[in-house]
Structure 1
């Protein structure tokens, strides 16, 4: 943030705007993998390097007829632990805005400094407490009846909140209310740094002047910044103060889209607890939050397949993303919603990527019209057509069997007049699968004839 200075005055530090804070976060995530999630996320020690990284969404998942670009939303492995402000409570009157937010200009936050403002406690545990103990494995699934139990942090410190209110009261109007050249308000910066009490005080002030949903240069409100920074407590605080729960950025991403894509179950739970939320909101790629969650889960599963099941970090991330899919469905998101560009449902997306975990889960969701759901078309292709095209995928046969067991019709033809059997690979395996489809097709015809005779 820049303010008018005399020609001879030189800034003593550079203000880390929200843009810089998020860029630092992404650089840390792509250069190192953190230690496994535990009951405390307060450590800022650098994580050991790794040679295996989760591919970016734009590289690892593409949909025919639908552009899937998340250049601004890199898939992350870790919960962002913001650095505390340095010298934050040095004084309230005449305090420099830049001095309030000084940070070292390095890719890692400087952990040697001892800030006056103590680091806020973050007891949120990224390991999921679920009724199924096998959820610790990325290949296990939650049943639709199981519930994910997530908790947020403790109540705000009343003393720190009052201090923050006094600080805001002592600031001049431009520092407390206005936006800088990147569109950041003081609330955006407090939120990005995870300073809950300060963010609450700033949100109160901005709410009073009708600027609680002010947008920064990429269209993010403070609520969207809180979601991106994985701050479930601040998300709850902002919603309680009246933040727009359905606000979207310049790519049409709402808080649900962002939380679902990153795989932040705690943040997602906080957002879902809000009122009047649009579960079927579409981003500018035509996707609902459920589509984003399904795509992101497939990315983690692919990365885990490449690195091996011993990668506990990817295991945890895949489990978190699968829990996000479950939470959206449990909250009422429709599995039958289709992408605007490709007409794919989440089942199409899961089958196309050979994501056996997600296919199993989706086919266990109790739907009154399961047969219709399984036979929905995406530009002429059913999920069975897509499964038939999984040449060389180790889960192809199981996916075909699962779809057939739920009423998938092997006689349906696509726009090229092909049945699923016509799309199978050549060779012995293809012939065996073709025989399986033909037997099911003949069995289906016999059932239809039997029903007609009974009528």
Structure 2
């Protein structure tokens, strides 16, 4: 039963469900009620079963008319809800790969579903991010971690106190699976690594920490052929040259 009391699984003698008949007769109000009801069932199922939820259970409700990208409280989608409720990495992967869940949908706080695992510091997802299998969600997680590491280093300055916080965050992101030698691509920083970026505007202590503890390849070059030490020279960071070379 859904929240309004209609049996959405009932099939008539023509093989049509209640929702199917509502669509055939273009009964928009009934369609809205039925879809809301089955969406509510899916929400409750995710919250109740959490890590025990199976793809088959989700698929059954989707066949009954549940919308995988329906917005619920706070503009969360079911993928947001699944991650918050400790859904397994395999089921998250099924949501994206098999059920077509939108991994870029943002809630009212501006978070995409895949960012939720970082916020909730979920160990099983951190392990999943390091899995060598070429799974859709693993790559999305990796991309998000790399982007966050880049954004973290963009905050670096010559201010030692501020950089101490950046070091803590960078170390955490690397432990989660961010790649220290990942080449960022945009108009201004084509194939720069975070070490290139740090050499542009930060201080010696941060560069030394990155090199000694996070082990970046300090000979890796940008699209223009510049190693990190060349970036330091270009932007007048002469004190960094001896550390980054």
Deviation, 1:178, is 5.5
| Counterpart-to-counterpart distance in 2, 1:235 and 1:445 | 53
User: 2:128: which partner in 1?
Assistant: 323
Aligned CA RMSD, in angstroms, stands at 4.8
User: Which residue number in structure 2 is paired with residue 261 of structure 1?
Assistant: 84
Gapped regions of structure 1 (runs ≥ 5) = 1-175, 180-184, 188-199, 301-317, 338-344, 376-401, 413-419, 422-431, 450-455
1:234 aligned residue (47, 52, 57): 57
1:273 aligns with 2:85: no
What is the number of residues matched between the two proteins?
183
**Runs (5+) with no aligned partner, structure 2:** 23-30, 154-164, 212-217, 219-227, 237-245
Distance verdict in 2 for CA 1:284–1:270, change over 3 Å: same
8 Å CA contact 1:335, 1:346 repeated in 2: yes
Paired residues of 2:75 and 2:108 also in contact (CA < 8 A): yes
Cα distance in structure 2, aligned partners of 1:206 and 1:324 = 41
Paired residues of 1:280 and 1:333 also in contact (CA < 8 A): no
| 1:245 aligned residue | 68
Alignment pair present for 1:335 and 2:150: no
Alpha-carbon distance change, 250 to 178 in structure 1, aligned in 2, over 3 angstroms: closer
Q: Please state how far the C-alpha of 1:273 moved relative to its aligned partner.
A: 3.2
State the Cα distance separating 1:248 from its structure 2 match.
1.5
Go from structure 1 to structure 2 and tell me whether the alpha carbon gap of 1:346 and 1:434 turns closer, same or farther (over 3 Å shift). Answer: closer
1:436 partnered with 2:241: no
Equivalent residue runs for 1:57-76 within 5 Å: none
In structure 2, distance between residues paired with 1:228 and 1:244: 16
What residue is the counterpart of 1:117 in the other structure? none
Is the alpha carbon distance of 1:433 and 1:334 closer, same or farther for their aligned partners in structure 2, counting shifts above 3 Å?
closer
Choose the corresponding residue for 1:408, options 193, 197, 215. 197
Aligned counterpart, 1:164: none
- Output one character per residue of 1:282-334: Cα deviation in whole Å (capped at 9) or x when no partner: 0010111122121112xx5xxxxxxxxxxxxxxxxx12454269753436995
* Mapped pair 1:292 → 2:116: yes
Give me the whole-angstrom Cα distance separating, in 1, the residues matched to 2:61 and 2:181.
33
1:13-412 pair list within 5 angstroms: 176=1, 179=4, 201=9, 207-208=19-20, 209=22, 210=31, 211-214=33-36, 221-229=40-48, 230=50, 231-232=53-54, 233-264=56-87, 265-297=89-121, 300=122, 318-323=123-128, 327-330=136-139, 335=144, 346-347=148-149, 348=151, 354=169, 356=171, 358-360=173-175, 361-363=177-179, 369=185, 372=189, 403-404=194-195, 407-412=196-201
Q: Judge conservation of contact 1:261–1:292 (CA < 8 Å) in 2.
A: yes
Q: Against the structure 1 CA distance between its residues 285 and 368, is the aligned structure 2 distance closer, same or farther, given a 3 Å change threshold? A: closer
CA distance in 2, matches of 1:237, 1:270: 14
Q: CA deviation at 1:410?
A: 3.5
The answer as to whether partners of 1:177 and 1:205 remain within 8 angstroms in 2 is no
Deviation at 1:257, TM superposition (A): 1.1
- Larger relative contact order (CA 8 Å, sep ≥ 6): 1
Query: Runs of at least 4 residues of structure 1 off by over 6 A?
Result: none
In the alignment, the residues of structure 2 paired with residue 365 and residue 334 of structure 1 have an alpha-carbon distance, to the nearest angstrom, of 13
